[in-house]
Amino acid sequence: MYWEKDIETLPREKLEAVQLERLKSTLQRAAKSAHYGSVFKEKGFDPAKFNALHDVRHIPLTTKEDLRASWPYGFLAVSKDELVRMHSSTGTTGRATVIFHTANDVSEWTNLVARCMYMAGVRKGDVFQNMMTYGLFTGGLGFHYGAEKIGALVIPAGAGNSKRQIQLMRDFETTVIHIIPSYALHLYTVFEEVGLDPKKDTKLKIAFVGAEPHSEKTRKRIEEFYGIKAYNSYGLSEMNGPGVAFECPCQTGLHIWEDNFIVEIINPDTLEPLPDGEEGELVMTTLLREGMPILRYRTKDLTRIVPGACECGRTHRRIDRIKGRTDDMLIIKGVNIFPIQVEKKLMEIPGVGTDYVIILEREGFNDVMIVKAEVQKEFFDGDLFHLEALQKRIVEALKSDILITPKVDLVAPGSLPKTEGKAVRVIDNRKE
Ligand code: ADP
Ligand code: ZN
């Protein structure tokens, strides 16, 4: 049943012993990089004296800005000729950062992705269609090699070109897909357009959905539309990319591989560690990286550790579905909200289609929130009365949940602009 049973079910005590040993050597390796070499000196941190896991909180934090400042090679802990691969982040929140891997790093990463895919039920004999962008973005190659390691037949489809994706799925009897959740919803509308039903007209069983925040409701919709299981896949380029944390069949949180990473949740304002169960910013340390070890990386992603043991028997702790990034928080009329709160409400309402965007405007001294939402085909083709009722329902639902009365603009299915990568959910026009 397990890919690496011994490691995945290692008793906590032993797991922590492995972590400590790996962390000690990571610190020694990191000290060789220009960045950590000078940070350690500046902060008076001596890696040779580090000897207890609970002292992790004394290791200096690393930010995306640090990675940008040390562009391109300032984090390297090995000589450049040891490197075999470069990847980069998407650049969602500013200039993209780059990560370098040695051959061992690529192999460890591949192993983690294989572990995740196997956990969700992928086996030799499956046909895996990878609908993520190949290239610098980690979602393409990261999954590709993991799936090959399991022995699945990989179709490196890449992103976009929906009709071709459907054709590939049908011709080669794809059983597993990797797809961005917003694109999964959109692709379903293309199935409808060409008169096909993925439940009947494909052999799909499993989808890995990730790379952007999405609500439980969105996952449920994907599962219902396609008649499959959709597993949440979390990763970030700084920690390799995909393969960091995945759901097991229990779907009660994402196991984060603690033999490869130290995981902490901190209060993003005070930077103090938070206990399991409390929501804060996820901070991670690589434990096996050779090329570019990263210590206490502030992911800016908000989540919590799900307390307690998972029924599947794996001992690696689980993180909750990501709520958003600290920078995604919108302040509207003094109220703090995350786009995912809007999504959650929208996806609960029958008639709301698959795509939406939040537009913020300033009228005089007032913030105005406009929610543009696509409507499901049947609704849109129906009478005006239905649309008006739907609009009212959305306004009421959002008002009671986020305490802001939005303007709701219902638009035709498929009419909002689509991207091949992560969906753009917010357009803020409130600049002074
Ligand atoms: P960028 O940070 O520029 O978007 P990456 O491609 O490295 O570059 O993306 C990693 C980020 O994507 C994560 O830090 C997180 O914000 C988001 N992300 C990835 N997977 C998920 C997921 N399953 N749920 C929510 N957010 C996710
Ligand atoms: Zn589990």
Which residue's alpha carbon is at the smallest distance from atom 9 of ligand 1? 236
What b/e sequence results for 188-204 when a residue is b if at least 16 CB atoms lie within 10 Å of its CB, and e otherwise? bbebbeeeeebeeebeb
379 CA distance to ligand 1 centroid (A)? Answer: 33
pTM (two decimals): 0.95
C-alpha–C-alpha distance, residues 333 and 284, integer Å: 34
pLDDT, residue 420, reads: 82
pLDDT, residue 394, reads: 97
Ligand nearest to the CA of 244: 1
Quick one: what percent of the chain has pLDDT higher than 70?
100
Q: What is the full DSSP assignment across 18-84?
A: HHHHHHHHHHHHHTTSHHHHHHHHHHT--GGG---GGGGGGSPPB-HHHHHHTTTTTT-SS-GGGEE
Cβ atoms of 109 and 142 closer than 8 Å: yes
Cβ atoms of 274 and 265 closer than 8 Å: yes
Q: What ligand 1 atom has the least distance to the C-alpha of 300?
A: 14
Sorted by where each starts, the structural domains of the chain and their CATH numbers stand as: 1-326 (3.40.50.12780), 329-428 (3.30.300.30)
Residue 246, classified by CB atoms within 10 Å of its CB into exposed (0-12), middle (13-18) or buried (19+), is: buried
Note the helical H segments in 234-299.
Answer: none
Ligand 1-lining residues (CB < 6 angstroms): 89-92, 137, 210-213, 232-237, 299, 301, 322, 325
Ligand nearest to the CA of 247: 2
pLDDT, residue 384, reads: 76
- Report the residue among 97, 263, 322, 340 best suited for mutation to probe ligand 1: largest number of ligand atoms under 8 A from its CB: 322
Residue 377, pLDDT > 90, answer: no
pLDDT band at 410 (very low <50, low <70, confident <90, very high): very high
pLDDT, residue 95, reads: 86
Ligand nearest to the CA of 308: 2
246 CA distance to ligand 2 centroid (A)? Answer: 9
pLDDT band at 432 (very low <50, low <70, confident <90, very high): low
- Report the residue among 141, 214, 301 best suited for mutation to probe ligand 1: largest number of ligand atoms under 8 A from its CB: 301
Query: Which tokens is 269 given?
Result: 């304002």
Residue 383, pLDDT > 90, answer: no
pLDDT, residue 345, reads: 94
pLDDT, residue 2, reads: 85
Cβ atoms of 347 and 384 closer than 8 Å: no
Nearest in space to 384 (alpha carbons), one of 373, 375, 397, 396 = 375
CB neighbour list of residue 220: distance below 8 Å, 6 or more residues apart: 347
C-alpha–C-alpha distance, residues 309 and 118, integer Å: 20
Ligand nearest to the CA of 284: 1
Residue 428, pLDDT > 70, answer: yes
- Report the residue among 63, 87, 92 best suited for mutation to probe ligand 1: largest number of ligand atoms under 8 A from its CB: 92
64 CA distance to ligand 1 centroid (A)? Answer: 13
pLDDT, residue 382, reads: 72
Residue 395, pLDDT > 70, answer: yes
Task: Indicate the residue type of 106.
Answer: V
pLDDT, residue 157, reads: 98
3-state secondary structure of 384: helix
Which residue's alpha carbon is at the smallest distance from atom 13 of ligand 1? 236
pLDDT band at 385 (very low <50, low <70, confident <90, very high): confident
pLDDT, residue 378, reads: 82
Mean pLDDT (the chain) is: 95
Per-residue pLDDT tens for 72-106? Answer: 999 999 999 999 999 999 888 888 899 999 999 99
Per-residue pLDDT tens for 233-272? Answer: 999 999 999 999 999 999 999 999 999 999 999 999 999 9
274 CA distance to ligand 1 centroid (A)? Answer: 22
Backbone angles phi, psi at 4, to 5 degrees: -130, 70
Per-residue pLDDT tens for 48-79? Answer: 999 999 999 999 999 999 999 999 999 999 99
Instruction: Tell which wins on pLDDT, 21 or 379.
Output: 21
113 CA distance to ligand 2 centroid (A)? Answer: 16
Q: What ligand 1 atom has the least distance to the C-alpha of 209?
A: 23
89 CA distance to ligand 1 centroid (A)? Answer: 9
pLDDT, residue 381, reads: 76
